[in-house]
Structure 1
Amino acid sequence: MTAFRKVKKGISLLLCTFLLFSVIGIPAVAEDKEEKKDIPKIEISFTVGESTLKINGKSVTVETPYVVDGTTLVPLRVITEAFGAKVTWDEKTQGITLEYKEVVIKLNIGKKTAYINSQVTELLQAPELKNSTTMVPLRFVTENFGADVSYNSQTAEITVVKENTESNSIKDYALILKRTTKDYIGDSYHKWHMPMPKEMRLRDRTFDGYYSYFVSDDGKREVMITIKDAESSDTPDTVAQKLIAIAKEYTLIESTKKVDKSHSEYYFVKYKDKEMTYEHKGYLSNGKIFYALSAVDNGATAQEKQVMSDIIEGFVLNFPTDGSVEDLSDVMSDGYRVFSENRMKFSLKVPADWIEVRLEDKENEFIFGRIQSNRLVGRIGVEIYSEQSGQTIEQWANMDRQHNIDMFNPACIIETSPVAPINVAGVSGYSYMIKMDNKKEKIIMNDIFLMKGKYRYNLTIELEESFMNSKDYYNAVLNSFKVEEIYVEDVGQLTRFEQKNDIFTTYEEKNLECKVDIPVNWNREEQNSTSVVFFDPESGRGVNIFTNENKNADPAEKVGRQLKNYMSEEKGAQILDSDDYEINNIKMYFFKYTLPNENDGNFVYTAYIAYGNGKLYSIVFTTPYIGDGKETATIFKKIVDSFKFL
């Protein structure tokens, strides 16, 4: 089962809409089965008396751990590398503060008194300094971070294991569920709860809370809760239709409309395959669609199957406030969540109602977006790259600014600011602003560039002006952005992908009897024997080449003018340019026009009409209106100028 498909980053607020709608537009149900993955975990293993430890599979040589009166002390570095915990050292008091998720531990060298989230406790052995290395009690620290510690008396090996939930929340879900005694679990922000899936782990939860996936250790029991924003066309019947369509791919057991314990109506299907039996329910409520899905191995006992049925039946759309439900929500009182990325060492606040766009194959890029009335009104993006020899942060900012000015439609750009110094949480950098009008809303894009250690950060905050003025999201996000130095040995080289729009490859389309040069980073998709499409998923640009019969052998100019007149009558269409064009001894006629799109704003089309090989050729370029700039014009001209008949 999977909630999100792989997506790529767009170039702007408008273009990023494609990404967000591709994510929230799918029903996020059992369309595909998720590949079985190991539950993410932190692991430390070593033999007492040896200086080389295994930390998350990597050999690390440190000051040798030792035992004092039955307590194992290890270098503080072991804890920070394994857990990614933040450490603060107070030289005056010899004090150590360790922060991991929501756990804060305070220790002092030579003192047995310690504090866990301000609660005082006594240590069996005080922290020590040995050879200028801070040594801390292993079991005390790691167990309070939610890990299990085991000791093999025969081999003298100590193993520390902490299983985690794949999430960027500041909440430690694995620790919370390990310690909870509550019988129910839910989300106070999204207003749902259900019986606690006992003996199952929360394997994955998206930062926005739209997806929560529980699984047993043996993978034979699963529960998935998925939320998506409803579209204007969604009704209880369309939700039912989606579930029925899924169930039809399996052996159907039950399909019916039901009412839950809170008197909410939902649709329910039960189906199975050769391995698992699934129970699946869907609600439409308050502009959102909720799906609850369980899967249990067909070989499970009757009691185990009943437990899974009870979980799905007990899923309801409310959240009791009597303290009986373990709350997964991490929304703070100010209406924001804190996104914390331990590996890339940054954190920032994100509005609670914004959606996380997961870039599954890119560990150094992060996107969040806000949908309002089927329209993207905000985007936050973070990109991290290794330092680049010979290029300063100021030069990077100026290069990025010029690239965007060339990329955007000059008719859309209202105002630009020069690159200027900025300081974010004590880190110096540079920023610039571009204000645009995409014919629907004015957009303000702020790009911030920072350097910390060996890595560069690009923070983008992009909002519609009206939305930005009503709520000061920009300052809230910017002021919350914090970065720490990344360990090069942990992350390695992160290279910025540069678009290869200046490198072309030739395609010979034998069915169409023509050839054309296309940028190497564009994708090709053959529609049928008379049509082929090339497109750039990063920018939204594309070209469709297709042929039609031309029995009357009408010249390209005549057909082109007829098509132009026809398009000019389309609602909202605007003809921007038209003229004769000749290249490679081929006479063409082109016309350029815009057409509005309800969700994605205006698009610009440029159609070239040519006659050859007894056929009528149409070469139709498309780009979002906001992206119809100098760069797009250069690319399109190179493509059309390369066109030849075979």
Structure 2
Amino acid sequence: MFIKRIVAAIVCIALISAFCISSVAIENTKVEVKYSIGKNVLSVNGSPVVSEKPYIKGGIVFVPLKAILESFGADVFIEGKNARVLYGNAEIVLTSQIQDYTVNGTKRHLPALPSMQGKDMMVPVDFIKDNFNVTLKYNSTSRTGTITLEDDGALTDLSFLTGGIIKPKVGNSFFKWSLQLPKGFRVTLQSFNSKYMSFANEQKGIYVGVYIENNNGKDINKYVEEVKADPEKYFYGEITDIRINSKDNLKFAEVLYNDDYDKAAVYERVFFKDGFIYRVMIALEDELDPEEIKNNVTCSGIINSFSLDYNGNDSSVQEISKIRNGQVKYSNYISSYLSYFDDEFMDDMDGIKAWEIEVPPQWDVIYLNTY
């Protein structure tokens, strides 16, 4: 026990030191994005980032919105012809081929029409200047430009200290799902086979879960019928709405309910594909109306980004699966057997592995009561 306290103290000191060092660095943090007309690679603080190619049209320089703003720490959601940007307390909404856009609902005007190019939206570079604390430089001879963002407080992100997510998306290539999460999220739960995942951004009070179950012959229509007939079998709380909806030709059950266990409202989508049931749920801290979660800009952006076609080849996705070569390791620890009998003994023995086995990731654990 004493050794554990010393180790904990050392860890705390290390974390405090990291926070102090990071705070000093963050005071002078800036993001410098360099671009070249006609080239599909940006330089972000000296590191290459693949993007759509900047171009000049009508004497106006156009740059890739998503690639640049994500380097600033913004959350950018591209949905069809629309782009939605979340940065600090601001929400910016743009539409391809329309010059008007909104900032927190207030209408503004672009100097030229934005347009979709590949997976990004190309916008006049002055849009960046008008909405962010940046300085712009452009060399007409070399056809190169620099966009520099000084830290305005929204750049600060210390999630790396707690194993935070460092890419725009997370995904599991074995179960073929991916999800876009704003910066500041971290993994808070992961089952041994990666079928049950939870993510949290405590600062924003947003909690996300992706849970996978074996289908066992059900389809979406039968599922909805069973939930309506016996909701307590599936949900620990009151369902306020359930219906079948679709996105990108993929049907899902949309469920709004109040979770009695966590005393929270939850917005959930349930997908059926390739023999599995995928449950994607999202909750907001202190929010008791699931309809408000559904209509929340950040929450709807997250859940709308859920995809079931990730195969591991997307470099923007952080692979979080524990599955290797079609197998996962299940480890059984002494604590699962002896903690019931002797807490003091377990304080010394906690973490000692009893046995380990590799199993298919579709398997689940069955807990047997042996006493």
Normalising by structure 2, report the TM-score.
Answer: 0.44
Higher relative contact order (CA 8 A, sep 6+): 2
Higher-Rg member (1/2): 1
State the TM-score, normalizing by the size of structure 1.
0.28
